[in-house]
Structure 1
Amino acid sequence: MAYKVGFKAPALDEFANLRTQVKWQNPDDEILKTSIENSLFWVAVYDTDKLIGTGRVIGDGAMYFYIQDIIVAPSYQKQGIARLVMTHIENYLSSTCSNGATVGLLSAYGKESFYAQYGYIKRDGDVLGFGMCKFI
């Protein structure tokens, strides 16, 4: 099936609904709106007018880029939509990043091999140290 791919941010309510479908908590609307607007790049996948997948890049646009919110609606998973999103993100990064830039992401547990096919490596502590994060 052919889906429509766009490169602008989805509407706040669409994005919040997609996050809810995969059981992610949403911050209040103002925080979510600011987060959406401050992204560097978006991929939004639609089945007709229904948002079914997203992915975005955040960061400083020069040295550091971070892949965020690779989400596919549960009823559309395992149909290649995440791969479609990542292909567009990788194309953006290839055309935007300079030598020496760092691209990071946090993988959902068990999804590491999906990102490994794009060249992302697990930080196992040997060379780079372990990755860390803090949730507030």
Structure 2
Amino acid sequence: MILVTLTDKNNRNDVDIEISHVAPSASQFIQLRESIGWNNLDSLDEIEQSIQSSLFWITIVRGKELVACGRVIGDGYMYFYLQDIIVHPKCQGLGFGQMVMNGIEQWLLTKAKKGATIGLLAAKGKEDFYARFEYLKRDGSALGLGMCKFI
């Protein structure tokens, strides 16, 4: 766990945050996802199982509120997928997304070996953010387009 004090550029207030690699509670995770308009499963137990099945978590807590997170899912050997990279709307622009990605990238450096694939599905308009971390846009020319199915 790391405690950090930042200065909020917008209101010039100090912001105390706690960065950790501890998974959030299901209720914290649900609230953060809902803050950006994402849907959740109906079963709290299934959400908890999903949280616990992750390979890696990084969370940022401000006060007692989860304000940013990211996780890695996959098989832990050949395939790693970045998932749920979320920053609460009221905390966007404070560098929390960068902190989450830096933590994930540091973890991946120790786990992903040569030949492994690291993937993600970027939300519309967020592609340039991930490009800063050397993720490539799949435009269909060399690798084909990425696809997904929502249930």
RMSD between aligned residues: 0.8
Q: Does 1:35 align with 2:36?
A: no
Structure 1 residue 10: Cα displacement? 0.4
The corresponding residue for 1:64 is 79
CA distance in 1, matches of 2:51, 2:108: 18
CA distance in 1, matches of 2:58, 2:130: 17
Q: TM-score, normalised by structure 2?
A: 0.88
List runs of 5+ in structure 1 lacking aligned partners: none
The corresponding residue for 1:99 is 114
* % identical aligned pairs: 48
CA distance in 1, matches of 2:113, 2:124: 30
Which structure would you say has the larger Rg? 2
Deviations 1:35-91 (A, max 9, x none): 101000000101122110000000000000000001111100111000000000000
List runs of 5+ in structure 2 lacking aligned partners: 1-5, 7-15
Q: Which has the higher contact order (CA 8 A, sep 6+)?
A: 1
**Residue correspondences, number:** 136
CA distance in 1, matches of 2:102, 2:63: 21
1:12 to 6, 26, 29: 26
The corresponding residue for 2:96 is 81
Q: Does 1:48 align with 2:63?
A: yes
More strand by share: 2
